[in-house]
A and B are shown apart, each in its own frame.
Chain A
């Protein structure tokens, strides 16, 4: 049999319902995917607009929520930065769905490798056991691992706009509209909740004072409105926190490197990543391992990673790497951040985390990062009237809130995750974060048998 055309669409339909596809179809799918992935370089070129996503970890229902909030494939272009499997109950369905979508819409979706896309890690963290449980043999796990070996190690996004066209979403509850930047301001950062309501907006060249005021307001846990107040463009351009070094009004943001973990002391240029032989199990050390395992940290230079693989790297390393490679931003995943995303080192690197309530235990929100196309309305692909409504080609705004839902729940959780200062060498891309919570419990279809030791009892 072959999995193509309508077979593939049937498989997608079945997987969207969170039902595994038969083993022979998995084999065929993995074969097709390998043929496709082998043609990709170690660093895949991706054009904006694109929506960048972090770890999924088998939380299938939350992946569906992600598509609801961010738009469906192929209407929205996606770049997933790895860690599709392990920990959650539905690694198999999540990974196979993403793989089907990759085979079906190869130009619309990019998958890069995370440290969990590895034989060794999946035997410890659940994917192997899940395959065994669902198919009675390890064959499917083996097919998937062969695909893992072909996944790209990184992606380079080009053509992203430096400023966001302000989204037309309504203002989230508890946000003072007076705090939003002027309508003619150049929006650098916008944070929307799952309803598409504006929670935060930051104008490029906002002065440092208003930024730190925002941080202060956010650090007060007792605040009744702990949403990041939106700094307005009150300060003169060129003051301490401005990012005008590169001429702020031009749309000439550098490229954005996407990688699961981070940098490696063995890699000082993107070309060196391109030279690696990636088609293998993730090694225990070396450049390929580092790209999938490293973490940024508040240190100078390089440090040993407490994970036992990869390294820690400081702001100086990131700034130097970005400058040398003409990057405006590194987007990476790999670390749980309670607020869904976290910009560090003057917004030269961002962590995006897309598994809400990670492991059904951590209580965190998730985020995705939308980068707009240069000269267009960032991140918003004008969608046709898709199956989820949105009506007449208007902006489709995701919503996970039912009629009785409380749309402000995620507002309360969002705290200051933006860097203290926005300055850097290159104007970063306009960044729209969509923050979302876990899919409602009743839609999760939690397995009857829960894991035994969620906590220490």
Chain B
């Protein structure tokens, strides 16, 4: 693995612990900032998006949108209540992916399943699945920057509610441990971009316990969108041909923004750029139809579907649940919510060779 791709892990970690790195980042972004500095700053900005997501999750949990007793254990910032429309959006995002994962796990429930969460950050899904599907045989993998996995493992070590979920396996003990391996839960410290530079024939980094033979769901919740389309393509190629080669059933679930070219999309791009965040796949796959074509191109020949989160809220969420969620907070910003939800999509695509394949069966009735 190309360690030089992860610049100054320790110093980045220190700056994180020392408080918001924003001021420091700004200083370094001046005209004299070197290319490497800018790169590091961009990387740092992307790593920090994870705490944004964690905070949004906590806000949702505290207001009753989501049931997730683990969210708060991973959030490093004091919880701030998000605006109702952001809570609604986080709810839709999380419950949409939960829905697809649920369909996967409950299809052929006795057979083993594997989930690889790319850029997992502080995501709590593994722990929630332990509670929700105690009988399932899940092998769960998370991949992220080492700076994020170190923090995550530290949280797990700190909270018994978390490390007791790891079963009989010893909880991680070493400070600054960046990876963790067990038959059920694995945390891999890996800069995904390092995979993109691996060419055929060159050994790829070992991902311990990644089983090449069981149906595998790749998850990218606002992760691959931060990478160049060609890099994303290479990463997925490695996963789909080398880690999880044909004929093992494999699928991908993406959550990312769409519609960069209207007024809202242009404003989003411009606002995020002031935080040093760019979203290369947003421009590369502007419309839902582009997302579909993209997924097919990755080799998910058996299905490639996409829905924006506005449709998901309308069509996926049952009436009673909609009423429950709508009753949690008065939501005045309906037009803005609709705009926001239309600019994010969930895409799901799979290859499993035939209608009896696990993904074809699981997702046959999921509406796009």
Contact = CB atoms under 8 A, between A and B. Distances in A.
B77 to A, nearest CB: 8
A408 B337 CA distance: 29
B222 interface: yes
On chain B, which size bracket covers the interface?
35 or more
Contacts of A452: 52, 55, 80
B84 interface: yes
Nearest to A308: B330
B332 A362 contact: no
Nearest to B77: A452
Contacts of B331: 307-308
On chain A, which size bracket covers the interface?
20 to 34
User: Could you say which of A306, A309, A362 has the most chain B C-beta atoms within 10 Å of its C-beta?
Assistant: A362
A454 B271 contact: yes
User: Could you say which of B55, B90, B336 has the most chain A C-beta atoms within 10 Å of its C-beta?
Assistant: B336
Main secondary structure of the interface of B (DSSP, over half): helix
Contacts of B268: 361, 455
B336 A336 contact: yes
Contact of A125 (B90, B264, B332): B332
Interface in B242-280: 255, 257, 262-268, 271-272, 274-275, 277
A298 to B, nearest CB: 15
User: Could you say which of B222, B268, B335 has the most chain A C-beta atoms within 10 Å of its C-beta?
Assistant: B335
Interface in A416-457: 450, 452-457
A359 interface: yes
B215 interface: no
A457 B326 contact: no
B222 A456 contact: yes
Contacts of B184: none
Main secondary structure of the interface of A (DSSP, over half): loop
Interface string A362-377: 1110000000000000
B80 A362 contact: no
B55 A453 contact: yes
A2 B90 CA distance: 49
Contacts of B265: 363
A31 interface: no
A457 B277 contact: yes
Interface string B83-116: 1101001100100000000000000000000000
B207 interface: no
B263 A456 contact: no
B267 A361 contact: yes
A120 B329 CA distance: 11
B55 A306 contact: no
Interface in B59-91: 80, 82-84, 86, 89-90
Given A455-B268, A456-B93, A121 B332 contact: yes
A119 interface: no
A116 interface: yes
Contacts of A51: none
Given A455-B268, A456-B56, A307 B334 contact: yes
Interface string A298-339: 000000001111000000000000000000000000011110
B140 interface: no
A114 to B, nearest CB: 10
Interface in B330-368: 330-336, 339, 344
A361 B330 contact: no
Given A362-B336, A453-B55, A455-B272, A309 B262 contact: no
A357 interface: yes
Interface in A270-315: 306-309
11 contacts: A124-B83, A307-B334, A308-B326, A335-B335, A362-B336, A453-B82, A453-B86, A455-B257, A456-B257, A457-B50, A457-B53
Leading 10 A-B pairs by shortest Cβ distance: A363-B263, A457-B49, A363-B267, A336-B335, A457-B52, A363-B264, A308-B330, A453-B56, A335-B335, A453-B86
